[in-house]
Amino acid sequence: MSLPKSNLTPEEIAFFHREGYLVIDRLLEESELAFAREVYDRIFEARTGREEGNEFDLAGADEDEKPAALPQILSPARYAPEFETLKARERALAITRQLLGEDAFFSGDHAILKPAGYGAETPWHQDEAYWDEASHYNAVSVWIPFQEATQENGCLHFIPGSHLWELKPHHPIGNDPRVHGLEVDEVDPSGAVVCPLKAGGATIHHSRTMHYAGPNRTQGVRRAYIMVFQTPARKLEQPHDFYWWKSRTTTREKRAQAYKEKQG
Ligand code: NI
């Protein structure tokens, strides 16, 4: 596949490797924004993927009758192939290859909505705490807001240099085993940087970078679309112990299980 020229400067590449994150002023074309928002709103409105366990409340107990505090859809491009046609996807891959190496590939996407006025915070965490405990990753998340992202509606915060830390112990948000979302046990956020973005801009962070997004205190929704890119993962001889997954009883898991059984 021929990719558009990526435009990271040597300084930007060095910044990413030193700080563990990077801000891109524009990744999504201005002309793609309205379309992207429309597709995004459509799948959240329909709670697309709920039956399979791919739509759920990241920050709450995910009960059917209650509005979700932090709705998430996993693999939205599976349900809305329009996302695959965004030029931002190719551009993000090209940029990622500059950061991680030529063997980097798209490994998945997700979408996190913070509803207007009450969308919950996304507590401090490292993305790898969600992944396979037996693998070593070299990966990034490319986080794109489909409207302006501000401190008031839930833009990302990063702890510079935290991509070089070990993976820290995590627990379910609020220590509630019904909640899918994770929170790091301990962190000192005093050195964190806040990264507001224009619509269609992006932040890129490493899979170990400690990050956070505040609650949505505004009257507009905060839409974020996230693409993950990685180089081939390596099996660890000494796997981590992600004990925080072992006592989970999420309704998302139950739906996923029931769906699998139905499919045979
Ligand atoms: Ni994250």
Domain boundaries, the chain: 10-263
In three-state secondary structure terms, 256 is helix
CA–centroid distance, 211 to ligand 1, in Å, is 6
Give pLDDT, residue 264.
Answer: 78
Give pLDDT, residue 2.
Answer: 46
CA–centroid distance, 34 to ligand 1, in Å, is 25
CA–centroid distance, 4 to ligand 1, in Å, is 27
CA–centroid distance, 172 to ligand 1, in Å, is 14
- Name the stretches of the chain with pLDDT < 70: 1-6
- Considering the entire predicted model, what is its pTM? 0.95
Give pLDDT, residue 1.
Answer: 42
CA–centroid distance, 159 to ligand 1, in Å, is 13
Q: Which stretches of 74-197 are DSSP H helices? A: 76-79, 87-100
CA-nearest of 35, 36, 62 to 49 is 62
> Which residues, including other chains, have CB under 8 Å from residue 12's CB and lie 6 or more apart?
22
CA–centroid distance, 143 to ligand 1, in Å, is 9
Give pLDDT, residue 5.
Answer: 55
Q: State how beta strands 182-184 and 202-206 pair.
A: unpaired
Exposed (0-12), middle (13-18) or buried (19+): which is 67, by Cβ within 10 Å? Answer: exposed
Give pLDDT, residue 249.
Answer: 87
Domain 10-263 sits in CATH at 2.60.120.620
Distance from C-alpha of 42 to C-alpha of 59, rounded to nearest angstrom: 21
CA–centroid distance, 263 to ligand 1, in Å, is 31
